[in-house]
Structure 1
Amino acid sequence: MDWSVIAESLPLFGRAFVVTLRLSAISIVLATVLGLVMALFREYRVPVLSQISAAVEELFRNTPLLIQLFFMYYGLPSIGVRLSAELCAVLGMSILGAAYMSGAFRGGFGGIPHVQTESARALGLSVPQMIRYVTLPQGLTRSVPAIAANAIFIVKETSVFTVIAVPELTNTARDLIGMYYHTNEYLLELVVAYAIILIPLSLVLTLLERRVRRASFRSA
């Protein structure tokens, strides 16, 4: 192991680390918001939007992210739509993540006792009021474990961005290995960089899940 090689490449990995972290954070936020909206459309069976949400969820969950990125980056320019590599990465990951997040939210919503929604209707609550006072408070807490797993999945899947030349961690490691052949050193930096992102994220999400579980138990 040549530590001088690692020291020399640290600035490049530092920049790639920032890119990976930024794209991951944006994708997680967009996927969570979009997934929640899609889940609500399907939960309340909103005409047209419910069917569109179901179609998007099925399409993106059942096709590889690699193919989706290829289509957006290399296929769309043939019809005059040109997107930057980073925008394609964020769009692809956000929509894929939203498809999984929608499933997570719907699983949480499905755990709400049916009698509560019936009681809300009997009290004359409107749909927005039902969402605010019944669906979201209980559904979100039940969805936390699945949401946490999906967030970690999104971070790990950023490695696929290398196929459209986004300068993230995996792409940087691959380029350096191809130029200088110091495989062990660059792979070590790659593993450490992902661990720096994923381990704290996993710990934070685990603590959040425990807090939510305790709060649910006390309220019960």
Structure 2
Amino acid sequence: MVYKLLSFGFFIFLIFPEKNLDGGECMDINWQFIISTLPLYQKAAWITIKLGFWGTLLSVIIGLVCSIILYFRIKVLKELVEIYVELSRNTPLLIQLFFLYFGLTKLGITMSETTCAITGLAFLGGSYMSEAFRSGIEAVSKTQIESGLSIGLSQTQLIRYVILPQAFAVTMPSLAANCIFLFKETSIVGAIAIAELMHVTQDVIGMYYQTFESLFMLVVAYLIIILPLSFLLSWLERKVRYAEFGN
């Protein structure tokens, strides 16, 4: 946490030097413009948070289901999940969004921009979450699974009481990294005309030609979103690992 705050402070120091390297005065920053565009960035930030939240939540659900299917090698579904994971991980999010938003209309399937963005984030994130969960599930000792079956636990009870608690503890670092990754990937969805932070920044630059101020607001907005999320996930990771392993 201290390292991240120091990094942010160093970034502010770099963009607000007392003098330029050539000895001249530093550029003037149009604070009035920054203040006037705050409502735009505030609205865009809430849209970004909404997209990131729902995309991440659905990714966790999809990833968990896929990892269980892969671990227990459920026939037919296993092959479908493997195809999905390879397809999702080996194609860019931008192409996935274009296919969902423009391509599916040829099949008579239409989605709103928001639905398409959340679907795209969930489609991409689910494959990464499934790999993270699978590694956590495979880390659970076979002896514990066999012991659970021997005392009469059903497969559902085994997953709920034996496998998942330990899998979550092991995979929390990967899950946290994937969550942050998906929130940052929301910067791509502006390509389908969603007024999230990146899209708003491009519009503001195009209308007012205040490039530095607009990009500065973009960086600050993402830091305001990502840093608290990072701290929360780090705290949750420590809590989960302590509850499971006691350290």
TM-score class, shorter-chain normalisation, is over 0.9
Corresponding position: 1:192 with 2:220: yes
Distance 1:129 1:11 in 2: 49
1:155 shift after superposition: 0.3
Structure 2: which 5+ runs fail to align? 1-28
Distance 1:186 1:218 in 2: 46
Structure 1: which 5+ runs fail to align? none
Tell me which of 146, 152, 156 is aligned to 2:184. Answer: 156
Equivalent in the alignment of 1:82? 110
Corresponding position: 1:92 with 2:94: no
Equivalent in the alignment of 1:60? 88
1:90-126 per-position Cα deviation (integer Å, ceiling 9, x unaligned) = 0010111111010110111111111111222222322
Tell me which of 42, 48, 54 is aligned to 2:76. Answer: 48
Equivalent in the alignment of 1:129? 157
TM-score by length of 2: 0.86
Tell me which of 142, 153, 177 is aligned to 2:205. Answer: 177
1:74 shift after superposition: 1.3
Q: Which amino acid aligns with 2:90?
A: N
1:6-43 per-position Cα deviation (integer Å, ceiling 9, x unaligned) = 11111111110110011111111111111111111111
Q: Which amino acid aligns with 1:155?
A: F
Equivalent in the alignment of 2:55? 27
Aligned length: 219
Structure 1 segments (4+ residues) deviating >4 Å: none
Equivalent in the alignment of 2:36? 8
CA RMSD of aligned residues (A): 1.2
Equivalent in the alignment of 2:174? 146
The DSSP-based 3-state class of the residue aligned with 1:26 is: helix
Structure that is richer in helix per residue? 1
Distance 2:161 2:111 in 1: 40
Distance 1:217 1:72 in 2: 42
Distance 2:54 2:99 in 1: 21
Distance 2:243 2:38 in 1: 43
Equivalent in the alignment of 1:168? 196
The DSSP-based 3-state class of the residue aligned with 2:37 is: helix
Identity of aligned residues (%): 46
Q: Which amino acid aligns with 2:211?
A: T
Q: Which amino acid aligns with 2:187?
A: S
Distance 2:235 2:160 in 1: 25
Corresponding position: 1:205 with 2:233: yes
The DSSP-based 3-state class of the residue aligned with 2:190 is: helix
Equivalent in the alignment of 1:111? 139
